[in-house]
């Protein structure tokens, strides 16, 4: 009963509008005035050799700051917390007054030998605290929006996890030069994230030579490979392993525009949420490769959305967020195995609380899942596939994972994109198992693994925490999950 009332209050506070999450943002920002309606030019010229000169990045002394960033305890935190957690700001540009906010969780056991993993959520413009508090972090928030419970399948069990709110303007990350927000785009996001990492490693020097991985989901299908590329390039240019990057893992990731759009429409049809006629008309009227919109295409896309109806497109089989009255049931799903469909309001409620912000060492902020101040996205790579090829050529481990019930950035889009790479197959399509059940399917290509998580939506660890941790553990170990 208490939970029911609390949820009702949360919903009353935030209204029932469909809050922006991740991939949703993509379409909004791309449709906004300052974005072009057709393809943006691909500003990432990927070359095998680092030709241009290295320009040194800003590095500030960080002595003693780590201790100040240590969190004593978070409001609502349960008993039995056996790990160190830190939050704080790292200045990436002192002249502009631009600083990025991070949350760092050390592994409770053997943290000094476990790898360091950076996690990024997408958008563009959405907060990685989504991942930290609703997906794979050490805590999840109860449906009351005030208390936390331990996530038994936290990725920090097997790695030291660093969550970064990126770029400036997202979450607690900010710039004192607010015109910086109008310069947001793929390029500046990667640049600032790189400067963040170099300085963060000065603050936590024990991690400087540690094996390093980047993981993320959704529009982080851009952020993660672009940052990995930036790191490799700077390692080459300086002849130094400044950051010891070993690989990347991207989930339900936007990596290639044309195949993304085609894969989405095909998923809608093959999962019986749109009609044959609408699917055929989309293929007829939408010039998918050019990416340009036409009135006929807009019309038929609208029709598709109305055919889909009011479902959660990030998990087509999940309940939607309703008030208890609308829901007509006495139980509110809130445990780790039945992910609360109102999680967005719960997360916002928790992180917008002033005592929580104080405990997080964050400056007072109207915290939101996705940025309100970033209103345009200035450059966006049309395809990330050339960068993926570069990463493969440079020996990086690359895992592309996908929750198979997400209709927003679906598995079909990932498959079409990977097929476009034309990589030789090393391990043919097969199921992978956890606890005698099929956890998903995988296909290993030369240099890249495609792996699905059965029964997971867009935010994979939210819906399938145990499978997600098994997948992540295999990724770090560089082994395929078991075939039986």
Ligand X SMILES: *[C@@H]1O[C@H](CO)[C@@H](O)[C@H](O)[C@H]1NC(C)=O
134 is catalytic: no
Strands 160-165 and 98-105: antiparallel
End-to-end CA distance of the chain: 43
Asked if 98 contacts 92 with a C-beta cutoff of 8 angstroms, the reply is yes
CA 203 to CA 87: how far, in whole Å?
12
CB of 28 or CB of 39, closer to ligand X = 28
CB of 303 to ligand X, least distance (A): 6
CB of 208 to ligand X, least distance (A): 18
CB of 341 or CB of 431, closer to ligand X = 341
CB of 212 to ligand X, least distance (A): 20
- The single residue of 40, 134, 458, 462 carrying the catalytic annotation is 458
CB of 75 to ligand X, least distance (A): 15
One-character DSSP codes across 222-256: HHHHHHHHHHHHHHHHHTS-SS-EEEEEEES---B
CB of 179 or CB of 366, closer to ligand X = 366
352's CB contacts (< 8 A; 6+ apart) are 365, 366, 367, 368
CB of 368 or CB of 406, closer to ligand X = 368
> Which region, left, alpha or beta, applies to residue 87 given φ > 0 means left and ψ of -120 to 50 means alpha?
beta
Cα diameter, the chain: 64
DSSP state of 157: G
Site of interaction with ligand X (CB under 6 A): 54, 91, 94, 97-99, 109-110, 176, 238-239, 299, 302-303, 328, 348, 352, 366, 368
> Which region, left, alpha or beta, applies to residue 478 given φ > 0 means left and ψ of -120 to 50 means alpha?
left
CB of 78 or CB of 94, closer to ligand X = 94
Q: Which residue is nearest to ligand X (CB)?
A: 97
CB of 61 or CB of 424, closer to ligand X = 61
CB of 54 to ligand X, least distance (A): 6
CA 352 to CA 242: how far, in whole Å?
36
- The single residue of 218, 371, 462, 474 carrying the catalytic annotation is 218
CB of 4 to ligand X, least distance (A): 12
218 is catalytic: yes
406 is catalytic: yes
- The single residue of 173, 256, 406, 414 carrying the catalytic annotation is 406
Q: How far is CA 376 from CA 37, 40, 44, 169, 179, in A?
A: 12, 13, 19, 12, 12
Give the catalytic positions in this structure.
Answer: 218, 406, 458
């Amino acid at each position: 009963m208490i939970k029911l009332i609390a949820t009702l209050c949360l919903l009353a506070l935030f209204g029932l509008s469909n809050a922006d999450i991740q991939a949703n943002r993509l379409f909004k920002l791309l449709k906004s005035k300052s974005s072009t309606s057709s393809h943006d030019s691909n500003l990432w010229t990927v070359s095998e050799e680092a030709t241009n000169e290295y320009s040194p990045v800003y590095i500030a002394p960080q002595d003693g700051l780590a201790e100040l960033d240590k969190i004593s305890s978070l409001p609502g935190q349960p008993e039995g917390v056996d790990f160190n957690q830190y939050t704080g700001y790292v200045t990436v540009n002192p002249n502009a007054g631009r600083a990025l906010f991070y949350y760092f969780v050390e592994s409770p056991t053997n943290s000094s030998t476990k790898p360091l993993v950076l996690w990024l959520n997408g958008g563009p413009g959405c907060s990685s605290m989504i991942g930290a508090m609703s997906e794979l972090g050490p805590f999840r928030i109860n449906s009351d929006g005030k208390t936390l419970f331990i996530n038994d399948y936290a990725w920090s069990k097997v790695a030291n996890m660093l969550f970064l709110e990126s770029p400036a303007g997202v979450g607690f990350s900010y710039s004192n030069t607010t015109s910086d927000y109008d310069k947001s785009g793929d390029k500046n996001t990667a640049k600032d994230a790189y400067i963040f990492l170099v300085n963060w490693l000065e603050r936590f020097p024990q991690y400087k030579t540690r094996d390093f991985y980047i993981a993320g989901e959704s529009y982080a299908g851009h952020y993660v490979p672009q940052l990995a590329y930036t790191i490799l390039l700077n390692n080459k240019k300086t002849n130094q392993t400044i950051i010891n990057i070993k690989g990347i893992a991207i989930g339900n990731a936007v990596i290639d525009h044309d195949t993304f759009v085609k894969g989405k429409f095909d998923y809608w049809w093959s999962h019986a949420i749109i009609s044959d006629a609408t699917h055929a008309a989309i293929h007829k009227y939408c010039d998918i490769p050019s990416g340009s919109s036409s009135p006929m295409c807009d019309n038929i896309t609208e029709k598709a959305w109305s055919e889909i109806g009011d479902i959660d497109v990030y998990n087509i089989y999940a309940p939607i967020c309703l008030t208890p009255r609308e829901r007509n049931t006495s139980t509110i799903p809130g445990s780790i195995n039945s992910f609360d469909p109102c999680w967005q309001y719960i997360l916002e409620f928790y992180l917008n609380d002033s005592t929580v912000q104080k405990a997080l060492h964050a400056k007072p902020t109207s915290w939101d899942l996705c940025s309100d101040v970033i209103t345009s996205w200035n450059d966006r790579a049309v395809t990330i596939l050339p960068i993926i090829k570069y990463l493969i050529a440079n020996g990086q481990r690359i895992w592309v994972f996908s929750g198979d019930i997400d209709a927003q950035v679906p598995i079909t889009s990932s498959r079409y994109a990977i097929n476009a790479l034309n990589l030789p197959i090393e391990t043919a399509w097969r199921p992978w198992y956890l606890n005698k059940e099929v956890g998903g399917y995988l296909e290993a290509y030369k240099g890249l693994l495609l792996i699905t998580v059965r029964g997971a939506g867009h935010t994979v660890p939210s819906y399938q925490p145990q499978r997600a941790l098994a997948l992540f553990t295999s990724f770090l170990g560089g082994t395929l999950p078991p075939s039986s």
